[in-house]
Each structure stands twice: as structure tokens, then as C-alpha cells.
Structure 1
Amino acid sequence: MSLLKSLILVCSCFLATHVTAQMPQGEYLDGKDSKVGVVLAHGRGNSPDGSVVGPLRRGINKDLGFHTLSLRMPDPGADSPDSPELAAAFPEAYQRIQFAIDYLKTQKGVERIYLMGHSMGGRMTTGFLANNPTAPVVGFIGVGLTAGGKEPVNTNLNLRKVKIPVVDVYGDNEMDAKAASFRKQLVSENYVQFEVPGAKHDYRGYEKPVSDLVIEWLKKQEGR
């Protein structure tokens, strides 16, 4: 191999490593020496520190000491599950999730990663898991998961392919409860559902019950 080709190869490897070393856009809380991290994905029109994901990322970090990385997810520009614009945003979402996993593993020494999604973030994270069955994710946290449409935008269809442990938290509002009812067939030792009575889809005012449920589930997964 010529010297020029060798230099090009070394530079390419350096650049690839450097890119994955960058923290993806979002909100990060340091877990210090913890080997556990949680990657969170917000819903449409929300933000990395918005409703559901904001209180949850802080609660997990405070109570369990885990690393939390709440991502800035792409805006699909459409909410209809049958919209072509919606499905077109999923590859970018997958890339951001993968960058987050790479960052936590290579830069923070995280060995066990959980993935969490709310609403549209749930569609994108379950789509990622369904299409990347070997991804180094040890569990999935869903809050206010919605359905409708075809794969990969239909959370219910995606979850049929997910083999890792799942906690499925939903409110008793019509949209969330209806979608959750179709997932009851998935309930098993590996898949648990919890209802949050009175909660609407944005879970405002119900942040603590959601956090308490998720944190208790994470404790069980980690043998605490």
C-alpha cells in the first residue's frame, strides 16, 4: 500500500471516530462512573427538555445516577401516520439514535443502554429497534405510544418485532388507551404495561407517576 493510501486510510478512520465521538444535539446529564445510560426521544413539536422526556431524564439521573441523553429529534412536518413526509424522517431519526448510542458507549464507557420514546419519539425509537434487532439496547421504555399507519411508523407493529424487555406506560385518555389495548396481547414476563389514570397525552401534571413507574422498572432490570 502506498504512503498516500495509508495516510488517507488513517485520516478516514480518525474522522469516523471523531464524528461518532461528538455528542448528538440534545440534553445530556452525566452519570459519572455509571455503566448504564438512557437515550430519550421526545414527541412531535416538543424538545429534549420538554414534557415527558424532560422530567424523566432528570429523575432517572437523580434517583438512579444513570447517564441520560435526550435527543433533538427530526421534525417530520406531518402528524398523519399515512403521510409520506412522516416515514421520510425516520432514517434521520435512526441516525441520531445510533449516534447517541455510539457516544455513550465510546465516550462515557456506558455498557447497558435503554431507549425511551414518547408519542412520535415512540414511533421512531420502536422503528429503530424493529429495523436494528442487533442494536446494543437492553430495554425499551414507551410512554404514550401511538399507532396507525404501516411499518415503520406504526408503534404497535414495530413492537411485535422487539425482543428486549419493554415497559409500556399509557394514560387513560382515548388515544393512548385505544392504542395500548391492541398491545395487551404482547404482555408477558418480558413486556409490562402500566396505566396512568387521568393522564392526557402530554402527561402534564402526571410527570411524577410516570417517572416513578419507569424508575421502578429500571431498578428491577438492573437488579436493584
Structure 2
Amino acid sequence: MRNGSTAILVGLEGQYHFILLTRQGNMKTMKRMSLILVLNLAFSTTLLAEIWSDVDKEQRWAEQIIDTLFDGETIWLDASGHEFLAIDMEASDGDTGRAAIVVHGIGVHPNWEQVVRPLRVGLPEHGWHTLSIQMPILLNDAESYQYAPLLDEVAGRINAAIGYLRERGQENIVIVAHSMGATMTMRYMEDVPEAPVLGLVLIGMQGGSETVHDNAATLEKINLPVLDLYGSDDLPGVVDFTERKADAARTAGNDAFRQIRVEGADHFFDDLEDALVETVAGWLEDNAS
């Protein structure tokens, strides 16, 4: 190497290059190359971020869904290099320009028979295009607190779903989420406060700070139309925090927040699927159309 010269390694678009710097003009060039290197490393770190979701389980769910799906079309979306399954279903009346992203609960998949499938198939009958997406998951015996690291992966998946829908002319987008999916949606709203969504339907959502995410604290920052939907026989962690969530909405000054309790419904709205769909569709018609 020539006297007074310096070589640095710069990676660009997956390729690495040695840049030889001479004394002449080397300070400005060094600063410029250093900036490129820092930005490149930051970008590479983002791309190589660890995936906490059980991708093998996701693949098993995907294979099962693809083999048995009757309503809708399976597609693959990409979040930071990780492909995940989604189920796309058009509104029965054709293109209405409005769509609901359906977000399932803990450990399951976008065609789960409880809550998720009734909504993704039922809402199209009310003029809503649906896109039900695979969220990050763990093994079946995982506790809810173990999902904390997975929340970092949520924004990428919901953003990918929004991008897919908007590319197809669906500009009026809402999120309909159940249980852990509602918690993931709250984390999404923390990470992307200006998200292009017009409303949130949060079904069976807990609200306390002892959960994996403090949902009530996030509600204090939201002024979108929000439906907090739960059953009279829901989980204690849902029923006991209804007033806390209502207080959070009042703190936000959110006049478009509403709570609806469905009598006789448990956490999964078993045997009350029609009431679930009708309640959600009715609220969406009044608040997010």
C-alpha cells in the first residue's frame, strides 16, 4: 500500500469493495465513505434481524391451509425478507375500495375456525374485502409473556398487508384483530402511529400493563374509531379491564371509541359466530365506511 494511503472496506448491495484513499482529498472522501459504510451496516442489520416466530410451525400451518382452503385465495407476502402466508378474499359485491386486515390470536393461523374464519369469510358478504394474515407464532405451549420479542415483527407484516391492499385499489382499510392479535395491533399502532388505517376492531383484548403490551396505554394515544368487542363470558383478563380501556379512550379524547358486550359469548364467540360478524359489520358500516 502506498505511503499515507488508507484502505477501507465498503459493502454496497450485498457486495464488498476496498476503497483506496490517498492523502490528496482523503479527509472528505474518508468521511463520505465512512457515512456510506455506517448506513450500509445499519441497513444490513435491519435485513438480518432475527426472526423470533416459529417459522417451521408457520410452514406447517401454510401447507395445511393451502391443501384445504375453499373460500379465498392464498398468497405470500414479504416482511423484511421473511415470506408469510395470507388469505385474500374479495367482497361479494366486487371491488368496494374497502378492506379489513384480519389478525388472528395466539399461536394459530389466518384460517382458524374460531373468530378468524367467520370474520374473513363473513365480512365479504357485507361489502368488505378481507386479507387474513399469518402473524408471528410460537409453540402451542408458549405463554403469552413469551410473545414479547415477537412484537418487533408485527409492523413489517401489517405494513406488507396494507401495501398489498393499496396496490389493488383498497384505500379504506381497517384492522380486525382477536386476542393476542389485538395486542399485536396495539403494538403496531405504537410503532406506526400514522398508519393509513381508518378504524380498529379489537376483539377480546386485555388491557393491563402486566400483559405482553400495555394496550390501555396505547389507547390513550389513539383517536381513530375503535370498537372494543368482548363477550359477557370472556376471559377475566378481558372483562376485568373494560373500564380501564374506556378510561384510556377518555384520556385520549376519543369520542369514536365504543365498547360492545355480546351476551353469552365466550372468548371465541363459540356458537355466536353470526352475532360476531353482524356486530363487527354493523359497526364498520357506521364508523369506517
Residue 152 of structure 1 and its aligned partner are, at CA, apart by: 6.8
Identical residues among aligned pairs (%): 29
Q: Given the alignment of the two structures, is residue 90 of structure 1 paired with residue 154 of structure 2, yes or no?
A: no
SS of the aligned residue for 1:89 comes to helix
CA offset digits 1:19-62 (Å, max 9, x no partner)? 68xx9512110234221111011111322121112101111111
Q: Kindly tell me: are residues 152 and 105 of structure 1, through their superposed partners in 2, closer, same or farther at Cα, counting changes over 3 Å?
A: farther
Separation (CA, whole Å) in 1 of partners of 2:166 and 2:153: 20
RMSD: 2.5
Residue 113 of structure 1 and its aligned partner are, at CA, apart by: 0.6
Moved more, 120-129 or 145-154: 145-154
Alignment TM-score, normalising by the size of structure 2: 0.64
Picking from 53, 56, 59, the partner of 2:116 is: 53
Q: Which runs of 4+ in 1 moved over 4 A?
A: none
For residues 1-224 of structure 1, what are the structure 2 equivalents within 5 Å? 25-31=85-91, 32-50=94-112, 51-64=114-127, 66-76=128-138, 78-80=142-144, 83=145, 85-106=146-167, 108-149=168-209, 153-173=213-233, 174-185=236-247, 186=249, 189-222=255-288
CA offset digits 1:142-170 (Å, max 9, x no partner)? 11001334687222222222221101101
SS of the aligned residue for 1:147 comes to coil
Q: Contact between 2:207 and 2:237, CA under 8 Å: does it hold in 1?
A: no
Residue 130 of structure 1 and its aligned partner are, at CA, apart by: 2.3
Alignment TM-score, normalising by the size of structure 1: 0.81
Structure (1 or 2) with the greater strand fraction = 2
Separation (CA, whole Å) in 1 of partners of 2:160 and 2:262: 32
Q: In structure 1, what residue type is equivalent to 2:120?
A: R
Q: Which has the higher contact order (CA 8 A, sep 6+)?
A: 1
CA offset digits 1:158-217 (Å, max 9, x no partner)? 222222110110112333211223112226531011001111112111211111111111
Select the structure of larger CA radius of gyration.
Answer: 2
Q: In structure 2, what residue type is equivalent to 1:193?
A: Q
Q: Contact between 2:199 and 2:288, CA under 8 Å: does it hold in 1?
A: no
**Unaligned runs of at least 5 residues, structure 2:** 1-11, 16-76
**Unaligned runs of at least 5 residues, structure 1:** 9-17
Q: Contact between 2:177 and 2:202, CA under 8 Å: does it hold in 1?
A: yes
Q: Contact between 1:127 and 1:152, CA under 8 Å: does it hold in 2?
A: no
How many residue pairs get aligned? The number is: 202
Q: Kindly tell me: are residues 94 and 76 of structure 1, through their superposed partners in 2, closer, same or farther at Cα, counting changes over 3 Å?
A: farther
